[in-house]
Structure formats: C-alpha cells, structure tokens
C-alpha cells in the first residue's frame, strides 16, 4: 500500500550511468620473445574521479574517471620485461537529471561511492586490455585490475565423494488378459 510520501534524494538509490569508455592512449611493446615461456605478470593501476559541471540547460551533472593500467610480463618477478602494456582510459558517467552538483559532490566524497562508479567501466577496460594482449599471443584472462598474489586468500574445499548409486532391478510385469 502506497503511503503517498516521496523519498528524498538522500534516500533514493540513483546511480550514475556509464555513457562511454574512451581509450586515450595505448602503448604496447614486445621487448623479447615470449613464445613457449611461463611469464609472470605485474599489473598496477591508478584511478582518479572528478565531477564535470553541467552546461546550463543542456546537460546534467557528469563524472569522469581516468583509469591508467601499467603491466609488465617477464620470466621472473622483477626481471627484464618481455612485454609491456600502458593504457589510459577515460570513462564518463551521467547522473540522473534531478541530482544537483552539490548532491553529486556529497555522494562522491565517500570512497565506496567512487568504487561503485568506477566498477561499471572496469569490465570494458579489462576486455580491451585482454584482447590487445591476445593479439600479441599472451593469454591474460586470469588477470584483472587490482589482482595481487600477496592479498589472495582461498578457502580450501575438500571434495565430497558422490553418493553411491543403488543397484537397479527391473521387474517384469505380467500382461493382464
């Protein structure tokens, strides 16, 4: 049953919408032969977010995030890189029309909100990075932004054996006459 009360802007969940992801710069270099070698990857990233003021009467409040990826693939940790990847991406977001610049600033002051905003563009950026690396013959599907072997924790799961099947018996049913 509706009570007739409207939610205030602070109570409503109104996430900005990703409108585009742009590749601003890309630099991929093959510095040595990586064929049939086990490679170690080191990927670092930096992310910055800023608000863009609306143009009076033409646009709503927008946000811009810049994501910079710097990856190196070598035979050993800290070794001479065989392949390097440096990409800078820009993602743009539109806030709903009723959100003011003041409310958007308050929302982006929270680190969690910035993460929610940028999380929309991370799959697109990862897909582009992986496709570029595959063209060089490098399988990078196991790496994602923010992956770190040091912070990885896995729970050990012991497999349970499947239940034993009961023997099936077939019974002949006498035909009724």
- Write the DSSP assignment of 81-119 as a string of letters: EEEEEEEEEEEEEE--TT--HHHHHHHHTSHHHHHHHHH
Q: Is residue 6 part of a domain?
A: no
- Which residues sit opposite 26 in a β-bridge? 87
**What's the pLDDT at 141?**
47
The domain in which residue 50 lies consists of 17-135
Q: Is residue 125 part of a domain?
A: yes
Q: Give the chain's domain count.
A: 1
Q: Is residue 21 part of a domain?
A: yes
Q: Is residue 109 part of a domain?
A: yes
Q: Is residue 39 part of a domain?
A: yes
| pTM exceeds 0.75, yes or no | no
Question: Residues of the chain whose pLDDT is less than 70?
Answer: 1-13, 33-38, 57-58, 137, 139-160, 162, 169-177
**What's the pLDDT at 176?**
62
Q: Is residue 173 part of a domain?
A: no
Taking the C-alpha atoms of residue 167 and residue 20, their distance in angstroms, rounded to an integer, is 60
**What's the pLDDT at 154?**
46
Taking the C-alpha atoms of residue 123 and residue 131, their distance in angstroms, rounded to an integer, is 12
Q: Is residue 1 part of a domain?
A: no
- In this structure, what CATH number is given to the domain that contains residue 126? 3.10.420
**What's the pLDDT at 91?**
93
Taking the C-alpha atoms of residue 143 and residue 95, their distance in angstroms, rounded to an integer, is 31
Q: Is residue 100 part of a domain?
A: yes
- Coil, strand or helix: which one is 54? coil
Q: What tens digit of pLDDT does each residue of 70-81 get?
A: 888 887 777 788
Rg (the chain; Cα; Å): 26
Taking the C-alpha atoms of residue 84 and residue 71, their distance in angstroms, rounded to an integer, is 6
Question: Is 23 within 8 Å of 68 (Cβ atoms)?
Answer: no
């Amino acid at each position: 049953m509706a009570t007739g009360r409207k939610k205030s802007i602070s109570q409503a969940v109104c996430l900005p919408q990703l409108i585009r992801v742009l590749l601003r710069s890309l630099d991929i270099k093959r510095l040595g032969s990586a064929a049939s070698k086990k490679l170690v990857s080191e990927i670092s990233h930096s992310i910055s977010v800023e608000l863009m003021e609306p143009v009076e009467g033409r646009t709503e409040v927008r946000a811009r995030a810049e994501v910079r990826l710097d990856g190196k693939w070598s035979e050993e940790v800290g070794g001479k890189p065989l392949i390097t990847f440096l990409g800078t991406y820009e993602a743009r977001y539109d806030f709903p029309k009723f959100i003011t610049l003041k409310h958007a600033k308050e929302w982006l002051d929270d680190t969690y909100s910035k993460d929610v905003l940028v999380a929309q563009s991370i799959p697109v950026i990862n897909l582009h990075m992986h496709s570029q690396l595959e063209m060089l013959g490098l399988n990078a599907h196991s790496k994602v932004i923010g992956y770190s072997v040091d912070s990885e924790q896995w729970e050990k799961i012991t497999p349970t054996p499947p239940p034993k099947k009961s023997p099936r018996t077939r019974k002949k049913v006498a035909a009724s006459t």
